[in-house]
Amino acid sequence: MANGKLLRNLIKSGLQGDQQGFRAASEAVIAEEREKKHHLLASDLEKLLYGTRGDTPTSLSHLKLVSNTPTSKDSGLALLEIRSVVREQQDIVLSNAAQSALEEIILEHNRADVLRSYGLKPPQKLIFFGPSGCGKTLAAEVLANELSLPLVVVRLDSVISSFLGETASNLRKVFDYVAEHPSVALFDEFDALAKDRGDSADHGELKRSVNAVLQMMDSYHGQSILIATTNYESLLDKAVWRRFDETIQFDMPDLEQIKRLLGIKLSGVRRNFEPSDIKIASLFKSMSHADIERVLRRAVKEMVLSGKEFLEKQHLAAGLAREHKMLG
């Protein structure tokens, strides 16, 4: 809880009707709770002080994130992108193993105080790996949402530079930033930064970036949760894996997961079939979560534009045909 001086200032300014003093004291309390990693409490207090998620995002943490975003000296481009988080746990469909691992991480961070009382701490460095479109980025968003933290995405197109030492300099800015601003920091396509140093095809600057990543991960002691994702885990330098507290594998959905995904995505759509029908689910076999969602969007658009009241199997067939044609 906040210290006595802050609480006295908060109550005093409130009783005196000093709005500026009350706001300043409230912000100090929120900052202190955030520093103690009481993220849920801090976020709840921010919502009371600044408004709910649906309002214009003017919370203290959001304002700090936006105003202090680092840029590349070389290109002048932002090194980070702050994304809105709207997806919740019920929006994601994963294998039992991946789902359990994600839930355990959320539980550990929600009960971080209990762990610390035993000299333990929740995992802060995570790597999500598996095929494209299977929920890695979505899982990072869900984690941010469940822990009431901003989602900060590292822009590798800005971070990686051909100039000697510039990539390492950009990485240092990124790590310094996320160390200071509690968030879920997503390093998407991490293999671009941490490719195997034995690969003779890569030039020296990328090899130096791997060394820089390893050093910065070793020395990182900030409050943010670092998440690296990759579709090509075999390309990663072997030394990188030891830097992560937890690794989670994401797989292509099986038929049961496809049924659940169809049920979620079509929950508000009138239809003449059941998502639980094995014949319907089988149509999407060997497709990723993202592929399935794209086909369903096309099918629903076809239904709307054709003036139909119900989604039919023929709409799904049309969406699937277009998907197969696009993929060749």
Output the pLDDT for position 59.
44
Output the pLDDT for position 154.
94
* Inter-helix orientation angle 136-146/96-110, to 10°: 30
Output the pLDDT for position 57.
42
Q: Tell me: the pLDDT tens digits for 272-286? A: 999 999 999 999 999
Q: Tell me: the pLDDT tens digits for 130-154? A: 999 999 999 999 999 999 899 999 9
Q: Tell me: the pLDDT tens digits for 76-121? A: 889 999 887 878 888 899 999 999 999 999 999 999 999 999 999 9
Q: Cα(102)–Cα(95) distance, rounded to whole angstroms?
A: 11
Output the pLDDT for position 200.
54
Name, in order, each residue with C-beta under 8 angstroms of 203's C-beta and a sequence gap of 6 or more.
none
The residue with tokens 């197969």 is 324
Output the pLDDT for position 298.
93
Query: pTM for the complete prediction?
Result: 0.77
The residue with tokens 């998620």 is 53
Q: Tokens in use for 324?
A: 């197969």
Confidence of residue 51 (pLDDT cuts 50, 70, 90): low
For 19, other C-beta atoms within 10 Å of its C-beta total 10
Q: Tokens in use for 82?
A: 């702050």
Candidates 227, 282, 226; CA nearest to 258 is 282
For 148, other C-beta atoms within 10 Å of its C-beta total 19
Q: What angle do CA 65, 69, 72 make, to 5 degrees?
A: 165
Output the pLDDT for position 165.
80
Q: Tokens in use for 245?
A: 């507290």
Q: Tokens in use for 38?
A: 């009481």
Average pLDDT over residues 153-182: 88
Of 46-60, 116-130, 181-195, 310-324, minimum mean pLDDT range: 46-60
Is the CB of residue 218 less than 8 Å from the CB of residue 243?
Answer: yes
Helices (H), 119-185: 136-146, 156-159, 166-180
Beta strand pairing call for 151-154 and 80-83: antiparallel
Q: Cα(314)–Cα(323) distance, rounded to whole angstroms?
A: 14
Average pLDDT over residues 293-320: 93
